[in-house]
Amino acid sequence: MKIFEYEAKTILAKYGIQTPKGGLATDVNQVREIASTLKPPLAIKAQVLVAGRGRSGGILFADSVSEAEKSAEKLLNMQIKGIPVRSIWIEEKIQVKNELYLGITIDRANRSYVAIASTVGGMEIEEVAAEAPEKVIKSLIKPQHGFRSFHARQMARKIGYSGSQLTTLGKIFEALYRVSMDYDTELVEINPLAETFDGKFVAADARIIIDDNALFRHREYKKRLLEGESELTPQELEAIRNNLAYVKLNGNIGVIGNGAGLVMATLDTIQFYGGKPSNFLDVGGGATSEKIAAALNIVLSDPNVKALFINILGGITRCDEVATGILKAKERVGVTKPIVIRLVGTNEEEGKRILTEVGIHVLESMEEAAQKVVKISKQEEER
Amino acid sequence: MKIFEYEAKTILAKYGIQTPKGGLATDVNQVREIASTLKPPLAIKAQVLVAGRGRSGGILFADSVSEAEKSAEKLLNMQIKGIPVRSIWIEEKIQVKNELYLGITIDRANRSYVAIASTVGGMEIEEVAAEAPEKVIKSLIKPQHGFRSFHARQMARKIGYSGSQLTTLGKIFEALYRVSMDYDTELVEINPLAETFDGKFVAADARIIIDDNALFRHREYKKRLLEGESELTPQELEAIRNNLAYVKLNGNIGVIGNGAGLVMATLDTIQFYGGKPSNFLDVGGGATSEKIAAALNIVLSDPNVKALFINILGGITRCDEVATGILKAKERVGVTKPIVIRLVGTNEEEGKRILTEVGIHVLESMEEAAQKVVKISKQEEER
Amino acid sequence: MGIIIDKNTHAIVQGITGTQGRFHTKLMLEYGTKIVAGVTPGKGGMQIHGVPVYDTVEAALEKHPANASIIFVPAIFAAEAALEALENGIKTIIIITEHIPIKDAVNVMTYAEQVNAVIIGPNTPGIITSEESKLGIMPAHIFMPGSIGMVSRSGTLTYEIAAGLTRKQLGQSTCLGLGGDPITGLNFIDVLKMFRKDPQTKAVVLIGEIGGNLEELTAEYIIKEKYPKPVVAFIAGRSAPPGKRMGHAGAIIMGKAGTAESKIKALRSAGVNVAEKPSDVAKSLARIIDI
Amino acid sequence: MGIIIDKNTHAIVQGITGTQGRFHTKLMLEYGTKIVAGVTPGKGGMQIHGVPVYDTVEAALEKHPANASIIFVPAIFAAEAALEALENGIKTIIIITEHIPIKDAVNVMTYAEQVNAVIIGPNTPGIITSEESKLGIMPAHIFMPGSIGMVSRSGTLTYEIAAGLTRKQLGQSTCLGLGGDPITGLNFIDVLKMFRKDPQTKAVVLIGEIGGNLEELTAEYIIKEKYPKPVVAFIAGRSAPPGKRMGHAGAIIMGKAGTAESKIKALRSAGVNVAEKPSDVAKSLARIIDI
């Protein structure tokens, strides 16, 4: 779960990391109020969770309260990658001597947390790693001892600091690790960490992603997620509430399947045959008819969908149950769009019988079914 | 640092461990108020930190509010091992089927924390260990993984529980470990943990000792200690404030020395020669004249003291500095009682000169000095 | 033969009294797996399909020596269950449970490494060595004994491909899922090493997906070690957008890292035959095995 | 010879810029100890008595290979300093600092055990191998080279007894303090084992005190192993009351456990000569050595 920049900064400040003075606003009046308490120049930053906010024009600068108001108005009327800007953060702009990167994330290959530091801040760290790997310093963190003050100082030294700046950087980095552990983050990064002309360090931007699977330990965020106080679309929210894995795509073939790998492969196969999937939706193992109804509902709520492909490989799940579930769901949701179903596995024959009786195509081969749904989607599109 | 039973129970309750319903009172009116909200029979318990409270009559029982008042009055006018009872805890008496022991403490030989459980509750665990070692189950705790729920369940099983009682006991024990880590305890124990007739477990008594060296992480307790809201005598308090290690004893020879082992050996030697030390006081290494003044002040404030023995082995500490310190201190405090000083080590000659000039006995041998001070103390006692 | 489990594997089931644990214990027993005991704290004394249940792993092992555990415990307690098994000396642990927090999984893996234990999962369908033992939730009937080793990051996609192999009479030695989480125990390289030593295994099917760089590292390993057995791969997620988690917690492209293209390119440069569609895996394999 | 440290010991001083660190660095250098670098975070680049100071242990070791560290860091940070030394591969660590929390000390000791490092202390006067090396705060002039190994839980009491030995021309091989805390690195048994192997050491002086049961365990060890070198002991605290901490965090009688009587009885039953007064140690030793 991503949280907003202003939330991340509030957390960092709580852990003693210096952040720019600022405030959150949802309308221009609030902007005026906040801006008048700050010392210009100011940074006016759209609070959106999508990546590449800066490049999309989501960060503006202002030298006065009135300029700040104008910038804020502009941002509040803007969409960034399709997401409307609901709130903005106004803060004092830092006079930057150097921009650094500090982050704690997961090293999958080493089954470990990893601390990352770089003297190249302000860019995505993956890009820095690709272009100048020698400028990215990594240190694996073993849970037994964690990332301690001396590890943090060792990192600070490796990016070229010494003396009191080294200890300050060390404290910031150590605090970042504590944030990571306390909030169960997948990623916590300060990027850039601004080094000012008087040698101080200020978190100019910050990003935190909380491990979705640990949200049971962070109920305030779990609650927020379920209450939709985030940037989720109604479909995404509905999916989360029904424990469905759902991702919106840009095509016209709705896809539902059981198992993440199978659904991904289904999308790939549709694409291979020239079709365009409208979504990823995994109902998981042993889905109930309720769950399948919810899945159909979510997928079909996209007006672009011209045809639906349900790909079920019944292993432990029985095909007859799935078929009944689909029928129930179909009736409840009132599906009128063409459906192609691929259904194999346990009790396959009974499942097929149930579905063919009501005139639904049932196929055995995933490739054949994919070709069929692609063809239908094209015909429907041409109507 | 020991904390009171009621404080320990409040902490345990915060960690989800069931404790008897009760309240704290410092006068009889409060007792009435509290008792009338509780269901008799009641237990009325003096809140003192000395061991053996029960055997000293510090716990009384009452079947009614008026009985509770009488018992409370009795306790509030009582001294337990010389400590006046300042407050009492009134709680509902548990109907006990079995009494257990659960504790987390330090295993010095294994450099580790250790979890201890026993089916013999209500006695001191060291006594149980001495009399029936097979009834004391121990499990070393490695800091890497801590004492986890399954360790707790393994212990519960070893003391003979199974099924839902095992999981309940496991949760209590795991919570106890979390208390231990969160509060930096040297000892946290529930003794007895009462098993009720309906199979529940209630912490009938609890004891917590916080590691003095970790009080910087627990400032509320540190503050309380320094403010004297404990059972410290004025001398003990003064010693803590001056960073002196001081223990009151019952003799008439005041003892001051540098180094815990040396001071202990000094007491032993005095005793060996038939004398009775009035205290243990270690000024530590490199004590300033201020510190020595404080030490003299504390030791001499005991009216029983007939003579003073200062035993200094100057290693890094210079004897001349110590001598000057003693003189300064002596003047400031206005010592009239006889002093025997043993002073050897760095700059010994100069130190001796300073002291003999003002007529203070200075000796080189600790044994000789001890014999001398014992003799003087006996003479003074006979006056 | 096959790897990791065989006829001599004696397993306990942690979380045996839950719906999943109960159901799959039955299926595993039917397959012939030696399930000797179950563990659910607070449920000691029960029997599940004739398997005795204990409150703790320690208690189970006192009565029933076992060398493996399969874990169906809910996510909140699953890491604890794995640590309990590890501390009690079990060296092969299959964690079926999905949604275990990363922090908890890292703890388990670190400890497992210290004591040289094999962890499969979390979020895995488990492992099956055909006609010897199954510790997992995969439908047994789609597998047949043979010489293909399979290792995968996905469940149903593995069944899809395994069923395809079986239809073509390409039987399997051992088939196992690494698990769909970002932090898992065994990885592709670990399993490739095991298949290398297994005389029964003649070729390996590797089923990867977007996210992380395990496939790329595996390609490096294959090149460096001149891996002696043919490898056919399928990588799911060519059509996945960046920054979105595709069902599995681990299936996510971060920035430009973890794409299917990168993995396919790396594997192909290591001489691995990467199939375009799931059904192509069996076809490629049939060609290779014929050679 | 002697144990643990000798002429080839190259040490760093952690916390070298503090009052204590600075002062004792000078004394150790004067004694001839090879102090190659100091570490104080934030003070890198300084020099203390000619010793270069670094921000981290890692930085110090890059320039100055060392095999020991002596720690004067304040109690709040001392355990961290020890972990830093351990993680950077130093295998002999002397922690002078007093008042380290038990929890922190347990962490350090557990890690040290895993990597087979020797920790002396905390709350120790350190170690001295006469005329070879001194890593500690003891006054050097009271020691002389010889054949008596000394191990103690106390500082000044050790000086008292060592001075007594030196006055009687009973020189010492190595003298070390275990530390006055409840949790320390080396214990009596560890050191007795080392003295056993040290050809220079002919007899051992053991200085114990109330609290814990290390002396009792040592007595068991001496009996079990038929310890081949004579041991003379002194136990401080015969007159100490129960439940009171006698200066050292570790010097406390809990209930009936940890009394001087118990320790003296145990040691005597193991054939150890337990002195009544500190000065008796030298006398007993003189008799034994004469035999």
d(CA D90, CA D88): 6
Q: Six-digit token pair at C105?
A: 């999984």
Nearest chain B CA: its distance from D256 CA (Å): 7
SS3 D152: strand
pLDDT along chain C (291 residues), means of 10: 93 96 95 97 96 98 97 97 97 96 96 96 95 94 95 94 95 96 96 97 97 95 97 97 90 87 97 96 89 46
Same domain, A169 and A46: no
In this structure, chain C runs to a length of: 291
Whether the Cβ atoms of residue D260 and residue D240 lie closer than 8 Å to each other: yes
Distance from the Cα of C54 to chain B's closest Cα (Å) equals 9
User: Could you tell me how many CB contacts below 8 A there are between chain A and chain C?
Assistant: 184
Tell me the residues of chain C between 166 and 185 that have a Cβ less than 8 Å away from chain A.
180, 182-185
Q: What is the CATH number of the domain that holds A259?
A: 3.40.50.261
DSSP structure class, residue D90: -
Residue where a domain stops, chosen among A67, A93, A119: A93
Q: Does A315 contact chain C (CB < 8 Å)? A: yes
* The last residue of a domain, from among A77, A93, A109: A93
On whether the CB atoms of residues B228 and B237 are closer than 8 A, the answer is yes
Which H helix or E strand runs over D214? helix D214-224
D25 at interface of B, judged by CB pairs closer than 8 A: no
CA distance B165 to chain C (A): 7
- Residue range(s) defining the domain that contains residue A163: 96-217
A156-183 per-residue burial string, b: 16 or more CB within 10 A, e: under 16: bbbbebbeebbbbbbbbbbbbbebbbeb
Cβ distance B315 to D247 less than 8 Å, yes or no, reads no
User: Which amino acid is located at B76 in the chain?
Assistant: L
Q: Tokens for D23? A: 């002062």
pLDDT along chain B (383 residues), means of 10: 94 97 94 95 92 87 94 92 89 95 95 96 88 94 91 96 96 98 97 96 96 94 74 84 92 94 96 96 82 88 92 80 82 83 86 88 91 94 81
Cross-chain residue pair D277–B272, CB shorter than 8 Å: yes
Which residue in chain B has the smallest CA separation from C108? B145
Note whether residue B277 is domain-resident. Answer: yes
pLDDT attached to residue B228 = 61
**Quick count: other Cβ atoms within 10 Å of Cβ C166?**
19
Question: Distance between alpha carbon D34 and the CA centroid of its chain, in Å?
Answer: 18
A116: CATH = 3.30.470.20
What tens digit of pLDDT does each residue of A32-76 get?
Answer: 999 999 999 999 999 998 877 888 899 999 999 999 999 999 999
CA angle centred on B176, ends B157 and A218, rounded to 5°: 110
Tokens coding B319: 């004897």
pLDDT at A288: 76
The arrangement of secondary structure in C138-290, i.e. its CATH architecture, is: 3-Layer(aba) Sandwich (3.40)
Judge if B239 and B260 occupy the same domain: yes
Q: Indicate whether A12 belongs to any domain.
A: no
pLDDT, tens digit, 9 for 90 and up, residues A109-139:
999 999 999 999 988 888 898 889 999 999 9
Closest residue of chain C to B170, computed from CA coordinates: C41
As for how many domains chain A has, the answer is 3
Candidate list D10, D64, D99, D248, residue with the active-site label: D248
Q: Please judge whether A167 and D42 are an interchain contact, meaning their C-beta atoms are less than 8 angstroms apart.
A: yes
Strand order in the sheet with A361-363: A245-248, A279-282, A253-257, A307-314, A339-345, A361-363
Between chains, do C111 and B154 touch, taking CB under 8 Å as contact?
no
In a domain? residue A6: no
pLDDT at D290 > cutoff 90: no
CATH architecture of D10-120: 3-Layer(aba) Sandwich (3.40)
Contacts A163 to D, Cβ<8 Å: 42-45, 55
Which alpha helices (H) appear in A301-359, and where do they start and end? 319-333, 348-357
Contact yes or no for A299/A305 (Cβ under 8 A): yes
Distance (Å) from the alpha carbon of C280 to chain B's nearest alpha carbon? 47
Is the separation of the CB atoms in A351 and A343 below 8 Å?
yes
Question: Cα(A198)–Cα(A201) distance, rounded to whole angstroms?
Answer: 9
Q: Which residues on D lie below 8 Å from A166 (Cβ)?
A: 41-42, 44, 55
**What distance in Å separates the CA atoms of residue A236 and residue A232, rounded to the nearest whole number?**
6
List D residues 202-261 in contact with B (Cβ-Cβ < 8 A): 207, 209-214, 217, 234, 236-241, 243-251, 254-257, 260
Query: Is B6 designated active site?
Result: no
Give D125-156 pLDDT, tens digit per residue: 999 999 999 999 999 989 999 999 999 999 99
**Per annotation, catalytic residue among B5, B69, B91, B189:** B189
> In the prediction, which pLDDT does B347 show?
82
Token digits of residue D257: 């456990």
Q: Which amino acid type is present at position D142?
A: I
pLDDT score of A236: 87
- Is-contact B3 B221, C-beta < 8 A? yes
**By the CB < 8 Å criterion, does B83 face chain D?**
no
Pair of tokens at residue B367? 């044994």
What is the token pair recorded at C80?
């604890």
DSSP D245: B
Same domain, B241 and B366: yes
Same domain (yes/no): B251, B315: yes
Q: What is the Cα–Cα distance from A1 to C245, expressed in whole angstroms? A: 11
- For residues B51, B57, B62 and B68, what is the CA-based torsion angle, rounded to 10 degrees? -90
Whether the Cβ atoms of residue A302 and residue C126 lie closer than 8 Å to each other: no
Give the N- to C-terminal CA distance of chain C in Å, as an integer. Answer: 24
Kindly write down the DSSP assignment for every residue of chain C, as one continuous string. Answer: --SS--TT-EEEEETTTSHHHHHHHHHHHHHT-EEEEEE-TT-TT-EETTEEEESSHHHHHHHS--SEEEE---HHHHHHHHHHHHHTT--EEEE------HHHHHHHHHHHHHTT-EEE-SS--EEEETTTEEEESS-GGG--EEEEEEEES-SHHHHHHHHHHHHTT--EEEEEE--SSSS-SS-HHHHHHHHHH-TT--EEEEEEESSSSHHHHHHHHHHHTT--S-EEEEEE-TTPPTT-B-SSTT-B-BTTBT-HHHHHHHHHHTT-EE-SSHHHHHHHHHHHHH-
Which chains neighbour B (Cβ–Cβ under 8 Å, 3 or more pairs)? C, D
Phi/psi at C253 (nearest 5 deg)?
-85, 120
Q: Are residues A297 and A365 in the same domain?
A: yes
Measured between CB atoms, does B133 come within 8 Å of chain D? no
Contact B261 D159 (CB under 8 A): no
Q: Is D257's CB within 8 Å of B126's CB?
A: yes
Using CB atoms and an 8 Å cut-off, which of residues 197-236 of chain A contact chain C? Answer: 211-214, 216-217
Which residue among A5, A99, A186, A189 is the active-site one? Answer: A189
Q: Where are the domains of chain D?
A: 10-120, 138-290
Among B93, B119, B148, where does a domain finish? B93
* Residue whose entry in the numeric block shows the structure tokens 């800066």: A54
Kindly report the nearest CA distance between residue D193 and chain A, in angstroms.
Answer: 30
What residues of chain C lie within 8 A of the CB of B145, using their CB?
A: 83, 87, 107, 111
Closest Cα of chain B to D14: distance in Å? 20
Nearest to C155 by CA among A311, A364, A285: A285
Among residues C10, C24, C64, C248, which one is catalytic?
C248
The number of beta carbons lying within 10 Å of the beta carbon of residue D257 is 18
Which residues lie closer than 8 Å to A331 by C-beta, 6 or more apart?
none
Nearest CA-CA partner of D27 in B346, B209, A80, A351: B346
Over the stretch D59-95, which tens digit does the pLDDT of each residue have?
999 999 999 999 999 999 999 999 999 999 999 999 9
- For residue B76, give both structure tokens: 């509030």
Cis peptide bond N-terminal to C122, omega within 30: yes
The 3-class SS string of chain B reads CEECHHHHHHHHHHCCCCCCCEEEECCHHHHHHHHCCCCCCEEEEECCCCCCCCCCCCEEEECCHHHHHHHHHHHHCCEECCEECCCEEEEECCCEEEEEEEEEEEECCCCEEEEEEECCCCCCHHHHHHHCHHHEEEEEECCCCCCCHHHHHHHHHHCCCCHHHHHHHHHHHHHHHHHHHHCCEEEEEEEEEEEECCCCEEECCEEEEECHHHHHHCHHHHHHHHCCCCCCCHHHHHHHHCCCEEEECCCCEEEEECCHHHHHHHHHHHHHCCCCECEEEECCCCCCHHHHHHHHHHHHCCCCCCEEEEEEEECCCCHHHHHHHHHHHHHHHCCCCCEEEEEEECCHHHHHHHHHHCCCEEECCHHHHHHHHHHHHHHHHHC
ipTM confidence score: 0.92
At residue C291, the pLDDT reads 46
- Which residue type occupies D247? G
Binned at pLDDT 50, 70 and 90, residue D291 comes out as very low
Residues of D (75-114) whose Cβ lies below 8 Å from B: 75-76, 99-103, 105-107, 109-110, 113
Contact residues for A302 (Cβ-Cβ < 8 A; gap 6+): A235, A248, A254, A278, A279
Across the interface, whether the CB atoms of B268 and D245 are under 8 A apart is answered: no
Do B110 and B146 belong together in one domain? yes
Taking the model in full, what pTM does it have? 0.93
How far D224 CA sits from the closest chain A CA (Å)?
A: 36
- Residues in chain A with pLDDT values less than 70: 228-230, 316
**Is C56 an interface residue toward B (CB < 8 Å)?**
yes
Q: What is the CATH number of the domain that holds B67?
A: 3.30.1490.20
With CA atoms as reference, the chain D residue closest to A151 would be: D84
Burial of A39 (0-12, 13-18, 19+ CB in 10 A): exposed
Q: C189-208 as b/e, with b when 16 or more CB fall inside 10 Å?
A: bbbbebbeebebbbbbbbbb
Q: Is residue B41 part of a domain?
A: yes
Peptide bond into A20 cis (omega under 30): no
Sign of the alpha-carbon torsion through B226, B227, B229, B231: positive
Whether B287 and B258 have beta carbons less than 8 Å apart is answered as yes
Nearest Cα to A244, choosing from A313, A295, A316? A295
Do D10-120 and D138-290 have matching folds? Answer: yes
Verify that B41 and B124 share a domain, yes or no: no
d(CA B112, CA B115): 10
Q: Backbone phi, then psi, for C42, in 5-degree steps?
A: 90, -10
Q: Residue C30, class by beta-carbon neighbours within 10 Å (0-12 exposed, 13-18 middle, 19+ buried)?
A: exposed
Look up residue D34 and give its two tokens.
Answer: 């090879």
Query: Does B143 reach chain C within 8 Å, measured CB to CB?
Result: no
Q: Which helix (H) or strand (E) holds A231?
A: none
Place of tokens 């003295």: D195
Q: Find the closest chain D residue to A142 by CA distance.
A: D87
